Amino acid sequence: MIPQRELIEQLQDILLPVLQDYGLELVEIEFKPSGKRWLLRIYIDKEGGVTIADCENVSREFGRILDVEDVIDHPYSLEVSSPGLTRPLKKWEDFQRNKGKRCRIVTREMIGGKNEFRGTIVSASEEKVEMLGTIDVCTIPICAIKKANLEFEL
């Protein structure tokens, strides 16, 4: 049995050309036990958001390729989904693309006495994210980010 991290990397290598054909971006791959089967969940996105047809196309084509490649050695279900309104922000480019939007960031260590930040993304680079909180702009090193998500705005 292939280690999970290695399997996800293999799946990503297989999936990326399919996504590029449809002009889609890979947000995240999850592969975890779910009852007697495993769940392979693929989150995709594109400028303006993904449609149900996008999810169906990727599911159909990726599913066919997985049947041929046979890289998963136990029963699984495949789901292809949008990351939703509170999508995770994984790469600095995600922060850059979402400038002006509200987000929540949790850091690995305390920064300025706290490890949870909420605010509007002002800028992002490979090294840091700047966000406007309720009072001032704070700078968070990319390497310190444990988890980040967009926040739902009314």
pLDDT at residue 15, as a whole number:
93
The per-residue pLDDT for 47 is 84
pLDDT of residue 146: 96
pLDDT value, residue 69: 87
Query: In the sheet that 76-81 helps form, which strands lie side by side, from edge to edge?
Result: 25-34, 37-45, 76-81
All CATH 3.30.300.70 domain ranges in the chain, comma separated? 4-81
Q: pLDDT value at position 135?
A: 82
pLDDT at 128: 96
Pairing of strands 76-81, 37-45: parallel
Quick one: residue 84, left, alpha or beta (phi over 0 = left, psi -120 to 50 = alpha)?
A: left
And the tokens for 103? 């987000």
- Cα angle: 106, vertex 12, 31; to 5 degrees: 65
Cβ 138 vs Cβ 131: under 8 Å: yes
| Residue ranges in the chain whose pLDDT is less than 50 | none
- Chain region(s) in the chain for CATH 2.30.30.100: 92-150
pLDDT at 125 (0 to 100)? 95
Domain 92-150 part of CATH 2.30.30.100? yes
pTM over cut 0.85: no
- Contact (CB, 8 A) for 79 and 41: yes
Q: What is the pLDDT of residue 87?
A: 87
Per-residue pLDDT tens digits for 87-119: 889 889 999 989 999 999 999 999 989 999 999
pLDDT number for residue 81: 94
The CATH number of 4-81 is 3.30.300.70
